[in-house]
């Protein structure tokens, strides 16, 4: 019987990396320069929001009336506002508020909209009719006007502004999920799951919801940018964050009468809003290009 010799110095073939949809998406995402730039901007503002108390040179509520409307200098990098408060400090803390409103309002909209959209799309009939009419009613109003009306009823505050933004954006996610569920519920694997006796709730959470995540992720990312703008608009109108909270929209509102005398009081909060929204828009467009099969070559 012949002996088999093994050469210990022989090269062992490297194990190939197992491909997967999310791994392929991450590879494609890294090649998308605009998406990477958007993600970098978002990460920068998230870091700023997290470490604001550590790097802020002053208390955002501290007033120095003797230093009101000071131009940018080595002491006050972004200058001061009409009450002598350090603008650099207030912009740093403003990132916390804007990102907090953006993330949590979208989470609320996504959860409520996804639940209603799945119910309407999967069960249809009267459930679809009632939920679709609810969406139509909410969409009949301009989103900012409806948000203003809700805040006017609940009372001006940052928390109520968050609630109003979440409510007005529910139909966006609800209709998106409803359309996706309509296209999924007649697929063969859903029919097979029903045939073997799988319960509706298990089908929804095991098959329908996971396969509906792609459009939700893309729209949610873009929705954060919209929520930040809406929060700034409510703050500008005095219906969002209340003094002395350093919300960017409120800072613009308080400084609009000083545009010619002290333009820096408007420039820095405005640029912060612009960069944050730009970051989420770039990231959302990149995710759409990566995750949407129709966008692939």
Q: Please give the tally of structural domains in the chain.
A: 1
Residue 114 belongs to some domain of the structure:
yes
Confidence grade of residue 278 (pLDDT, cut at 50, 70, 90): very high
Tokens of 85: 């408060």
Q: Is the pLDDT of residue 21 over 80?
A: no
According to DSSP, the residues that pair with 80 across neighbouring strands are: 86
- In this structure, is residue 147 part of a structural domain? yes
Residue 128 lies in a domain: yes
Q: The domain spanning residue 98 has which CATH number?
A: 1.10.3720.10
pLDDT in tens, 118-177: 999 888 788 889 999 999 999 998 888 999 999 999 999 999 999 999 999 999 999 999
With a pLDDT cut of 90, the percent of the chain lying above it is 54
What would the two tokens of residue 112 be? 């409520």
pTM value is 0.85
At 105, list the tokens: 């309002």
Residue 203 lies in a domain: yes
Q: Determine the pLDDT at residue 204.
A: 83
Residue 87 lies in a domain: yes
Q: What is the pLDDT of residues 200-218, one digit of tens each?
A: 788 888 888 888 888 898 8
Q: Domain range holding 142?
A: 78-295
Question: Does 44 map to a domain?
Answer: no
Q: CA–CA separation, 32 vs 284, rounded Å?
A: 12
């Amino acid at each position: 019987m012949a002996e088999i010799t093994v050469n210990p110095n022989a090269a062992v073939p490297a194990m190939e990396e197992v491909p997967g949809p999310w791994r392929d998406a991450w590879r494609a995402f890294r090649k998308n320069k605009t998406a990477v730039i958007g993600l970098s901007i978002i990460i920068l503002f998230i870091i700023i929001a997290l470490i604001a108390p550590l790097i802020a040179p002053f208390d955002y509520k501290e007033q120095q009336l003797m230093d009101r409307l000071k131009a940018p200098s080595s002491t006050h990098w972004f200058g001061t506002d009409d009450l002598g408060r350090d603008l650099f400090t207030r912009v740093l803390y403003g990132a916390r508020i804007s990102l907090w409103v953006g993330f949590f309002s979208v989470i609320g909209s996504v959860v409520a909209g996804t639940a209603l959209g799945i119910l309407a799309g999967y069960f249809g009939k009267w459930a679809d009719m009632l939920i679709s009419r609810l969406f139509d009613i909410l969409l009949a109003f301009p989103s900012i006007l409806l948000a203003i009306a809700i805040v006017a009823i609940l009372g001006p505050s940052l928390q109520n502004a968050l609630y109003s933004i979440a409510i007005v954006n529910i139909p966006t996610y609800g209709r998106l999920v409803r359309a996706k569920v309509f296209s999924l519920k007649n697929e063969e694997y859903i029919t097979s799951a029903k045939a073997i006796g799988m319960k509706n709730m298990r089908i929804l959470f095991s098959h329908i919801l996971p396969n509906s995540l792609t459009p939700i992720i893309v729209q949610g990312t873009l929705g954060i940018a919209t929520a930040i703008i809406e929060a700034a608009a409510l703050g500008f109108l005095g219906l969002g964050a209340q003094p002395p909270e350093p919300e960017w929209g409120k800072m613009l509102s308080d400084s609009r009468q000083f545009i010619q005398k002290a333009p820096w009081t408007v420039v820095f909060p405005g640029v912060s809003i612009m960069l944050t929204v730009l970051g989420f828009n770039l990231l959302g467009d990149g995710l759409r290009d990566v995750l949407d099969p129709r966008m692939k070559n």
